Amino acid sequence: MEATVNVNGVVTDGDQAVVSVFDHGFLYGDGVYETVRTYNRQPFLLDRHLARLRASADRLALDVPPTDADLETRMRDTMRRVNPGGEVTLRILITRGVGELTYDPAACARPTVVIIARPHSGIPDTMLRDGISVVVASVLRNHPRSVDPSIKSNNLLNNVLAMQEAIRQGAYEAILLNHRGELAECSQSNLFAVRDGVVLTPPLDAGLLEGVTRNFLFEVGADIGVAVNEAVLREVDLERVDELFITSTTREVIPVVRVGDRPIGAGRPGPIASRLLTRFRALADTLTRTSVTS
């Protein structure tokens, strides 16, 4: 795996990077993370990602000692030699750190700060042309009073189990329902539907990660005169939508043409997802040319 890794300020090739087995991130999934990608080799919407990283860490009462400027410098140091001339995906992880085998956070003297920089592999054009299939997972999204999905934590078994179901059925993503049976989000992306020209996405109250791309899409929609609104959606609504698509930092906007064995709309990628993606990419390009962060 081609990667350059920064562990507590020390940059090495990926296969030389070391974190202790006594790190509570490894032992308990006690930590938070962000995935950021570059356009024009500039981290995109970095201020939003770092704000969410700190908000997630706060929910775990986890310190993030480096300043945002320091984190950005570490990211730039780490990505310098990765995929020259091309784009980079960065994963920033903050874990509780190394300590005794106890859940007591006081056992860990300082958090571990890891940055993984890898070449960004974009979405294949075939996926945009043909769309993807997803399934509705049998596993439910974590209840917000359990491991709250709004925390972007390293504790990802809920997502892993849902994605295993998708993989077993030959699908690209898994939709998760919440405890009320509403659509929440996917294992690694947010979900959007289009009905009568209006774009709808589950509200935060459905229990989901407030995606940076999801939030940006409200702005992209406004920019091209497409209404993007929050709405409670259920599985039965999928029979009445014209388009369905997913969003995430690394996947941008990908059209969904099938859920399980049911085709969505006309069974091929729709025009609104395509218009949103085109404008999204244009804005990402402009924003990363005109400023270092968003």
Ligand X SMILES: Cc1ncc(COP(=O)(O)O)c(C=O)c1O
Q: Which is nearer to ligand X, 4 or 188 (CB)?
A: 188
Minimum CB–partner distance for residue 194 and ligand X (Å): 18
Q: What are phi and psi of 115, to 5 degrees?
A: -130, 125
Query: Which residues, in sequence order, are CB contacts of 293 under 8 Å at separation 6+?
Result: 42, 43, 45, 46, 47, 72
Q: Which is nearer to ligand X, 108 or 279 (CB)?
A: 279
- State yes or no: residue 190 binds ligand X (CB under 6 A): yes
Separation between Cα atoms, residue 186 and residue 63, nearest integer Å: 28
Minimum CB–partner distance for residue 191 and ligand X (Å): 9
Say if residue 287 is exposed, middle or buried (CB neighbours under 10 Å; 0-12, 13-18, 19+). Answer: middle
Q: Which of 38, 142, 154, 189 binds ligand X (CB under 6 A)?
A: 189
Q: Which of 57, 75, 163, 212 binds ligand X (CB under 6 A)?
A: 212
| E strand spans, 108-159 | 112-119, 132-136
Binding residues for ligand X restricted to 66-105, rule: CB under 6 A: none
User: Are 200 and 226 a contacting pair, CB within 8 Å?
Assistant: no
Task: Pull the structure tokens for residue 17.
Answer: 């990077």
Q: Which of 209, 238, 276, 284 binds ligand X (CB under 6 A)?
A: 209
- State yes or no: residue 182 binds ligand X (CB under 6 A): no
Q: Considering only 72-80, 163-171, 182-190, 266-274, which stretch makes contact with ligand X by CB under 6 A?
A: 182-190
Q: How many CB atoms lie within 10 A of CB 22?
A: 14
- State yes or no: residue 249 binds ligand X (CB under 6 A): yes
Separation between Cα atoms, residue 87 and residue 104, nearest integer Å: 40
- State yes or no: residue 154 binds ligand X (CB under 6 A): no
Chain positions contacting ligand X, by CB under 6 A: 35, 159, 185, 188-190, 209, 211-214, 247-249
